[in-house]
Amino acid sequence: MLTLNAVTKSYAGPRARQVLRDVSLSVGDGEFVAIMGESGAGKSTLLNLIAGLDLPDAGSVVLDGTDLSALDDNARTRLRRHRMGFVFQAIHLLPHLTVSQNVRLPLDIAEMPRDQANRRVGAILEAVGILKLANDFPRSISGGEAQRAAIARALVHEPQLMLADEPTGNLDREAAAQVLTLLREQVKQRAGGGILVTHSGSAARTADRVYVLTQDGLAVQTG
């Protein structure tokens, strides 16, 4: 489903540096993989390239046969809109929208009929266990509940690929464990596949496969 072929990325400027070198990766349908690495190893850059938010200097990112480099910004945006979902470490629910409005956001952007969208939102809120918080604003719910809402938002439109960047970084251990279980479960049910970026070993262990990103490239972790 997703293939990265020898992706290289550098940043120019006074502190120019090469962030990714010859990174290759393949994620198949139904797979949930984790990418680990030290701070500064390029995990977020890799996620940006996969999401089409940035383009590689060399190599290619191919999603279901489509090379992202061949698309313009609008086309990549539409691709994200319909085929990707995001979960952020800082959660980023929009504070002026209720939980259900936040979750429905991808459906609104995709202009899904209102009734259908409502049904989808109700179903996923129930699935992640926060249906009773549907009309609450983000500031009045806990961090774990907010991250569940963020997971719901990432998957409500049933994307082919779910990208999660340190989704449990701001949560306590118990809440983190619940969120990771939920994330894996929902990805398996609703998305084509998922990539979890983390530097937490316990988080990574919930994935089907774990990769480690270093300055030399990406390697499968064994053992």
Site size for other proteins (CB under 8 A): 34
Nearest-approach distance from CB 223 to other proteins, in angstroms: 31
Which residues have C-beta within 8 Å of that of residue 12, sequence separation ≥ 6?
none
Q: What secondary structure letter does DSSP report for 81?
A: H
Minimum gap (Å) between residue 94 Cβ and other proteins: 6
C-beta separation of 153 from 106 below 8 A = yes
Q: CA-CA distances (angstroms) from residue 126 to 10, 42, 104, 134, 168? A: 43, 35, 14, 10, 21
State which of positions 110-129 bind other proteins (CB under 8 A).
110-111, 114
6 vs 175, which CB is nearer to other proteins? 175
Query: Residue 51 interacts with other proteins (CB under 8 A)?
Result: yes
- Give whichever of 45 and 206 is closer to other proteins, judged by the CB atom: 45
**96 counts as binding other proteins under rule CB under 8 A:** yes
Q: What is the SS3 assignment for 217? A: strand
Query: Minimal CA–CA distance to 185: which of 162, 168, 211?
Result: 162
Interface with other proteins includes 80 (CB under 8 A)?
yes
Rounded CA separation 218/22 (Å) = 8
Q: Does 141 bind other proteins (CB under 8 A)?
A: no
User: Among residues 90, 123, 219, 220, which is the contact residue for other proteins, using CB under 8 A?
Assistant: 90
Answer yes or no whether residue 39 interacts with other proteins by CB under 8 A: no
Q: Does residue 106 interact with other proteins by CB under 8 A?
A: yes
Q: Does 71 bind other proteins (CB under 8 A)?
A: no
37 near other proteins, judged by CB under 8 A:
no
Options 1, 6, 137, 199; binder of other proteins; rule CB under 8 A: 137
Pick the closest to residue 104 from 91, 114, 92, 96 (CA basis). Answer: 114
Q: Give the separation between CA 163 and CA 175, rounded to whole angstroms.
A: 19
Task: Check the CA dihedral 144-145-148-154 and report its sign.
Answer: negative
The residue type at 134: A
Q: Is 15 in the site for other proteins (CB under 8 A)?
A: no
* Interface with other proteins (CB under 8 A), residue from 1, 6, 22, 88: 88
Q: Contact residues for other proteins (CB under 8 A)?
A: 44, 48, 51, 53, 73-74, 77-82, 84, 86, 88-90, 92, 94-97, 101, 105-106, 108-111, 114, 137-139, 153
